[in-house]
A = this chain, B = another copy of it.
Amino acid sequence: MKCNFSAALSDFLFEYETPRLVLVKSKRVGIVCRLIQLIVLAYIIGWVFIYEKGYQISDTAISSVFTKMKGVGYTEVNGVERVWDVSDYVFPDQGDSSFVVMTNYILTPGQKQGKCPALPGKHNCQSDKDCEKGDYKRTGHGQMTGKCVQENKTCEIFSWCPIENDAVIPDPPLLMSAENYTLFIKNSITFPDFGVVRSNLVEGVDNNYIRHCLYSESDPFCPIFRLGDIVTMSGFTFSQIASEGGAIGILIDWTCDLDWQLKHCLPVYNFHGLYGNGNKEDDSAASMGYNFRNAKYYMEGEVEKRTLTKVFGIRIDVLVRGLARKFDIIPTLTAIGSGVGIFGVATVLGDLVLLYVLPRRNFYKNKKFKNASNDEEKSVLQRCKTETEPVKE
């Protein structure tokens, strides 16, 4: 037994098994097989490795964005002129990655809690019994008091009075000057797996450059954007979007091959309208109309009042997408391994040609196969064969 084992071991160690092959000197089969192998090889090297970089692992980025608007707006509404600076027209003010630039507005000053007739069309009534006390519409402005105001045939409601009337949107938009505002984007990106940190203030983009540059085809790395340009590049016309508002996505795309120097890891800025459904026309259509209400509260003596502003504006979402790739041994070997596997296919195909296509297939068959069978187990197929056609050798 012991002998058996140690023997088996030494055999296993010092013995080498290699398959016995038939050498077929046939141009046809040779060419076919080599061709297939060549294709496989080309695929593995050319496609997997060079084109798809199959030898790399990837890491998605964690990112942080800070934005800052600059510019002054000016309006003159029936004689009253007003300037608007950043703290007036940007919401929120602390420089989020998602913010709104006001381009148009409907002002309802001096609102205070009280009773006033609803807007025409909202709560129409003929008599008080049409206005059920305490009832309200989801889309309404307040709660019915149960009184029907005969003057304008609407129920009286308890609400912030006077009620905002947003029937008519100022056109042309009041803050067309917004077109010349500029947006400064600071974007910091981290690839945790690779321990790489990058900023969109890449090499060459220093304070001096920033002071003068403006993003454009020719300055693709300048982090300062003119609002008008952003709108145009995302496929809108400014006047159109400014009046009713809209939403725009600024996609900062980092696709980095870290097998190269870090300085080649650069951001690409894309601009597109949001909230569409893929189809371009609808897209702009659906994106149209971004607004929200902002209230500024103040006390007048003991009475709380507020200035309600319906803000139409351009909502800008800065979206960041970072993907870094780097050489790694695992995917490399996996690709090779599965490649070698595919190589096996070449032989299979080659055999098909050899054993079923070529005229001398039976000759090759006998060379390739060796029957390990006693007669009683003799292959039915061969018996058939012998009857049909004599194997010529």
- Bound-state CA distance A209–B247 (Å) is 22
CB distance from A113 to the nearest CB of B (A): 6
Known: A43-B333, A138-B71, A202-B277. A373 touches B23 (CB 8 A): yes
List residues 358-386 of chain A with CB under 8 A from any CB of chain B: 363-364, 367-373, 377-381, 383-384
Taken together, the copies of this chain in the complex come to 3
With A22-B370, A72-B159 already in contact, 15 other A-B pairs whose C-beta atoms are closer than 8 Å: A13-B30, A23-B373, A60-B60, A83-B158, A85-B141, A87-B294, A88-B295, A188-B275, A192-B253, A299-B300, A334-B335, A336-B338, A336-B341, A336-B342, A338-B338
A83 touches B278 (CB 8 A): no
Q: What 7 A-B pairs are tightest by C-beta distance, nearest first? A: A337-B338, A337-B341, A341-B341, A87-B295, A7-B380, A25-B373, A340-B341
Chain B hits for A85, CB < 8 A:
141-142, 159-160, 293
- Bound-state CA distance A308–B81 (Å) is 20
Can you list 22 contacts pairing A with B, beta carbon distance less than 8 Å?
A3-B384, A11-B25, A16-B26, A18-B21, A18-B24, A19-B19, A19-B347, A20-B367, A24-B373, A25-B371, A54-B330, A62-B249, A62-B321, A72-B159, A81-B113, A94-B315, A97-B98, A197-B283, A198-B278, A336-B342, A337-B337, A340-B342
Known: A15-B25, A143-B83, A342-B333. A296 touches B293 (CB 8 A): no
A314-334, CB under 8 A of B: which get 1 and which 0?
010101010000000110011
Q: Does A199 contact B (CB under 8 A)?
A: yes
A140 touches B299 (CB 8 A): no
B83 touches A286 (CB 8 A): no
- Bound-state CA distance A377–B364 (Å) is 14
Q: Does A136 contact B (CB under 8 A)?
A: yes
A25 touches B86 (CB 8 A): no
A188 touches B48 (CB 8 A): no
Chain B hits for A25, CB < 8 A:
11, 14-16, 371-373, 377-379
Which of the residues B18, B199, B380 comes within 8 Å of A10, measured between beta carbons?
Answer: B380
Which of the residues B93, B180, B198, B378 comes within 8 Å of A292, measured between beta carbons?
Answer: B93
- Bound-state CA distance A29–B27 (Å) is 32
> Nearest CB to that of A62 among chain B residues?
B319
B18 touches A20 (CB 8 A): no
> Nearest CB to that of A19 among chain B residues?
B19
List residues 288-312 of chain A with CB under 8 A from any CB of chain B: 290, 292-300, 304-308, 311
- Residue with the greatest number of chain B CB neighbours at <10 A, chosen from A15, A33, A158: A15
Q: Does A8 contact B (CB under 8 A)?
A: yes
B367 touches A363 (CB 8 A): no
CB distance from A297 to the nearest CB of B (A): 5
- Bound-state CA distance A275–B349 (Å) is 58
B377 touches A201 (CB 8 A): no
A119-160, CB under 8 A of B: which get 1 and which 0?
000000000000000001011111100000000000000111
Chain B hits for A13, CB < 8 A:
30-31, 34
